[in-house]
Amino acid sequence: MKNSTIVKLSIIALVLAAISFWSGQQSYSWFPPQASLEAKLIDGLFSFLVSLGTFIFLGVLGTLSYSVLFQRAAKYDYSDGPAIEGNNTLEIIWTVIPFILVVWIAFYSYQVYSQMSIQGSKDHSDSEAIEVYSRQWAWEFRYPKNNVVSSELHLPVNQRAFLKLQSEDVIHGFYVPAFRVKQDIIPGKTIDFEFTPILEGKYRLRDSQYSGTYFAAMQSNVIVESPEEYQRWLASSAKAKRTPSYNQAYQEFNNKKSKLRGWRSIKPAEPPLVNNLSPGE
Amino acid sequence: MTNITNVAIEPANWRRYFSFSTDHKVIGIQYIVTSFFFFLVGGLLAMVVRGELITPESDLVDRTVYNAMFTMHGTIMLFLWTFPVLAGLANYLVPLMIGARDMAFPRLNAVAFWLVPLLGTIMMLSFLVPGGPAQAGWWSYPPVSLQNPTGNLITGQVLWVLAVAISGVSSIMGAVNFVTTIFRMRAPGMTFFRMPVFVWTVLAAQIIQLFGLPALTAGAVMLLFDLTVGTSFFDSAKGGDPVLFQHFFWFYSHPAVYVIILPVFGVFSEIFPVYARKPLFGYKFVAVSSIIITILSAFVWVHHMFASGTPPWMRMVFMASTMLISVPTGVKVFAWVATIWGGKLRLNTPMLFALGALVMFLFAGITGIMLAAVPFDIHVNNTYFIVGHFHYVVYGAAVLGIYAALYHWFPKITGHMYYEGLGKLHFILTFIGTNLTFFPMHPLGLEGMPRRVASYDPEFTFWNVLASIGAFLLGVSTVPFILNMIGSWSQGEKAPKNPWRAIGLEWLISSPPMIENFEELPIVTSEPYGYGGDHALVANLEHLEIDHE
């Protein structure tokens, strides 16, 4: 290779690397708020993947674009290009480098996954495990030590949250985008699930595994609050009377005024009886 | 080697396309035209889906109707468009490319095709039964797929399972035929390393059908039993295991993605050398990488279940295998780029479609590696990020690749040239439409919008409106294609044997080829893709090659 070619290629690689790094930094802003420890880890991994991906994408796209712009046949030029059938060195390089890259990605992902350890731990003697019941199409949260049933998931900030996920009919999915964690809930099993909220606020819990007619409506609020507020909420809820909560699927199913015609649906479960009734719902 | 008496009684006009023809070329066209009809049907269902999603509320159709729309959209697009259209292309091209007079089992070939209209009819009839068509998604995960609000025995879901099982039978018949044909029917001198890459990829894809489909078909039959006679393979309420179905389903349905994409890789490998006037770079690497993909594809299915009821070790093992499969795929991408590099490019319609498809496949490949990383997948699993990713594969790469193939071989198949202007218009509309529809799905997924929802929180509106506009544009983009195909087939300029100056057995014979393809079987003497070289492809038939424009 000529020296001038090497210089040119190096400059291009540097520019690409700069753009890729910049994209990786941008990628943090494409997510919902970073409301859990797991979110930090996952966003960091994604940023790395975006940088790497941008570099490869722009590198290949740039090469192709150069060919398309500058290597076109003249109108009446029916000759062939050079009869290059391959290059063993090049082919080995572009097999080995991607191999190393994916091993690197897999290793990094493995580390992140072990740090998250969202699955399976039963060792949570000092914290209360919250029971999460899912059914077509409602979420119900039980705090057994305080005898509280809620239609919203309340969690204290900066404490490991332990959930026992259960489904009473079909497979549902526990998914809070702000926490970046997700777990299918398999009927007939209790699934231990844990994560650590780190940012106070109100987030959305969405069913992430298609569960039939009112799947899209199966959402709930997640409220992350200071430990004091959390305790206060538990105490006041424990005193409140249990009443049926608002449930969108149930409302829609029983709304005879709807103009939309459809087929027969599974009947939604009765709205759960809960201690709290949050304003507006 | 086919049955000559059959040939004699076949009508030679348009009626043969509605007959039980055993000519692989007629069957190829039957497959392509039938599946394109279902492509339009599946597209219309997608328009309803995107129409509903242009606003956050569930306000265009009832939720049950919406659920039926996306279920049937996915089902039709896979089982009645992508698989059959590729079976059609392979049917038409493989015997020509290997120098055979027909497929190994012509009657089996015809039966395999005629099952497609049958299963299509069953799918369409399911719209008419009480309770409507299946509404459990194209995965039909139990227990949702086992729920039966009407209480009838014949439901949309039962018809769905039946149709999918028939599709499996048809595909297995096709696979037996393709594999046998490629192993046993090659012309003299056509060694494995003289086969065009399209033939390699069809072989690789059809081997997947052979080992994968039995799992899906078994899963479908067990589901049918659970639905109709009260067994409890998958019904958790009766002690069954719904996750078992997911394993059966994905053991086939992930490799099925390679059944789709491998022949499209084959199309790329045929088209780039012709329009860049250079040999395929690293032919043997590209050919062998298809077989490596086939082998690895059997060990990646759990990556669809990273957020399902799977233990951590299983997630890690399948992350590693999924990462590995990107290596042979990367080899192909780099080989195509190197083929194009330094060539003498001609950007006509097939080349434009192939280039567009390659760029979108590259994007899909990169998001695919991201998805293989378990921690990231846990966030975006079952969100619109996945929908965006796989539509870049099945629309961006596969549909555009199929369009590229249809334009490239159109003169060979019909004996007429297509209209270049309409073709380019079709490309521009399709390329813009595809990106406008499917790119916005990535940010939606990152922000946490689940797939399969009929309504969503207002924060997701912006990207959804863009995606819906893109989808309607894609609907419009098929109009110039249909006009082009009908117009040029009936009115187009007569095509010579080899309008693209391409190297390959199919370009040595008349357009369209005669029945039984070759007057005398070619004797192959060199590797394919000899652009810029001077070695002859065949020892006989040489006089035919002078027939350039």
- Give contacts of B362 with chain A, Cβ < 8 Å: 56-57, 60-61
Neighbours of B270 (CB within 10 A): 29
**pTM surpassing 0.80?**
yes
Query: A167 and A48, same structural domain?
Result: no
Token couple for A12: 């291009």
Which residue, among A38, A76, A91, A96, would best test binding to B if mutated, counting the most B CBs under 10 Å from its CB?
A: A91
Query: A137 and A22, same structural domain?
Result: no
Point out the residue among A57, A68, A213 whose CB comes nearest to the CB of B366. A57
- Give contacts of A119 with chain B, Cβ < 8 Å: 311-312
Among B95, B129, B120, B123, which residue's Cα sits nearest to residue B1? B95
State the pLDDT at residue A167.
Answer: 96
Q: Does B108 touch chain A (CB under 8 A)?
A: no
The answer to whether A271 touches A138, Cβ cutoff 8 Å, is yes
Query: A269 and A166, same structural domain?
Result: yes
Please, which residues bridge with residue B137 across strands? none
Flag whether A148 is in a domain: yes
Flag whether A247 is in a domain: yes
CATH of the domain at A208: 2.60.40.420
Window B:66-105, CB contacts with A under 8 Å: 67-68
CA distance B86 to B99: 20
The answer to whether B495 touches B412, Cβ cutoff 8 Å, is yes
Query: A166 and A53, same structural domain?
Result: no
Question: Nearest 5°: phi and psi at A99?
Answer: -60, -50
Nearest CA of chain A to the CA of B16: how many Å? 39
Is B532's CB within 8 Å of A109's CB? no
Query: A163 and A264, same structural domain?
Result: yes
- Give contacts of B135 with chain A, Cβ < 8 Å: 212-213, 263
CA distance B77 to B40: 9
Point out the residue among A73, A175, A219 whose CB comes nearest to the CB of B344. A73
Say how many CB pairs under 8 Å bridge A and B: 294
End-to-end alpha carbon distance in chain B: 32
Point out the residue among A42, A53, A90 whose CB comes nearest to the CB of B379. A42
Query: A171 and A256, same structural domain?
Result: yes
State the pLDDT at residue B103.
Answer: 97
Flag whether A122 is in a domain: no
Total length of chain A:
281
CA distance B389 to B255: 16
User: Of A63, A87, A110, which residue sits at a domain end?
Assistant: A63
Q: Which domain holds residue A270?
A: 129-274
Flag whether A49 is in a domain: yes
CA distance A30 to B442: 10
Please name the residue of chain A whose CA is at the shortest distance from the CA of residue B370. A49
Point out the residue among A57, A106, A181 whose CB comes nearest to the CB of B323. A106
Point out the residue among B68, B326, B347 whose CB comes nearest to the CB of A68. B347
Is B281's CB within 8 Å of A86's CB? yes
Query: A268 and A133, same structural domain?
Result: yes
pLDDT beneath 50: ranges in chain A: 279-281
- Give contacts of B150 with chain A, Cβ < 8 Å: 263-264
The answer to whether A175 touches B225, Cβ cutoff 8 Å, is no
- Give contacts of A264 with chain B, Cβ < 8 Å: 64, 130-131, 149-150
All domains in chain B, ordered by first residue: 18-546 (1.20.210.10)
- How much is the ipTM here? 0.95
Which residue, among B48, B55, B57, B64, would best test binding to A if mutated, counting the most A CBs under 10 Å from its CB?
A: B64
Query: A221 and A133, same structural domain?
Result: yes
pLDDT in tens, chain B (549 residues): 444 444 445 566 778 888 889 999 999 999 999 999 999 999 999 999 999 999 999 999 999 999 999 999 999 999 999 999 999 999 999 999 999 999 999 999 999 999 999 999 999 999 999 999 999 999 999 999 999 999 899 999 999 999 999 999 999 999 999 999 999 999 999 999 999 999 999 999 999 999 999 899 889 999 999 999 989 999 988 889 999 999 999 999 999 999 999 999 999 999 999 999 999 999 999 999 999 999 999 999 999 999 988 888 899 999 999 999 999 999 999 999 999 999 999 999 999 999 999 999 999 999 999 999 999 999 999 999 999 999 999 999 999 999 999 999 999 999 999 999 999 999 999 999 999 999 999 999 999 999 999 999 999 999 999 999 999 999 999 999 999 999 999 999 999 999 999 999 999 999 999 999 998 999 999 989 999 888 888 988 754 444 444
User: Of A17, A45, A63, which residue sits at a domain end?
Assistant: A63
The answer to whether A42 touches A30, Cβ cutoff 8 Å, is no
User: Of A26, A48, A63, which residue sits at a domain end?
Assistant: A63
Flag whether A1 is in a domain: no
Which residue, among B344, B441, B456, would best test binding to A if mutated, counting the most A CBs under 10 Å from its CB?
A: B344
Cis bond before residue B143 (omega within 30° of 0): yes
Is A57's CB within 8 Å of B141's CB? no
Amino acid at the residue A95: T
Is A94's CB within 8 Å of B331's CB? yes
Query: A139 and A32, same structural domain?
Result: no
- C-alpha angle B21/B402/B249, rounded to 5°? 85
Which residue, among A102, A117, A194, A214, would best test binding to B if mutated, counting the most B CBs under 10 Å from its CB?
A: A102
Is A67's CB within 8 Å of B345's CB? yes
Q: Give the C-alpha distances (Å, rounded to integers) separating A78 from A96, B68, B382, B548.
A: 37, 53, 50, 11
State the pLDDT at residue B295.
Answer: 94
Query: A156 and A230, same structural domain?
Result: yes
Please tell me what DSSP assigns to residue A27.
Answer: G
Is A216's CB within 8 Å of B378's CB? no
State the pLDDT at residue A117.
Answer: 81
- Give contacts of B444 with chain A, Cβ < 8 Å: none
Query: A29 and A140, same structural domain?
Result: no
Window B:294-323, CB contacts with A under 8 Å: 307-309, 311-312, 315-316, 319-320, 323
Place of tokens 């544009």: B473
State the pLDDT at residue B444.
Answer: 98
Provide CB contacts within 8 A for B102, sequence distance 6+. Answer: B1, B2, B22, B23, B24, B95, B516, B517
Place of tokens 């983009």: B477
- Give contacts of A71 with chain B, Cβ < 8 Å: 340-345
Please name the residue of chain B whose CA is at the shortest distance from the CA of residue A38. B375
Is A68's CB within 8 Å of B345's CB? yes
What DSSP string describes A208-242?
-S--STTGGG-EEEEEEE-HHHHHHHHHHHHHSPP
Point out the residue among B63, B327, B452 whose CB comes nearest to the CB of A262. B63
- Give contacts of B381 with chain A, Cβ < 8 Å: 182, 208
Flag whether A70 is in a domain: no
Flag whether A80 is in a domain: no
SS3 state of residue A179: coil
Total domains, chain A: 2
List Cβ<8 Å contacts ≥24 apart for B148-153: B148/B227, B149/A263, B149/A264, B149/A265, B149/A266, B149/A267, B150/A263, B150/A264, B153/B228
The continuous run of DSSP H or E covering A201 comes out as: strand A201-207
Query: A159 and A27, same structural domain?
Result: no
Flag whether A79 is in a domain: no
Nearest CA of chain B to the CA of A236: how many Å? 30
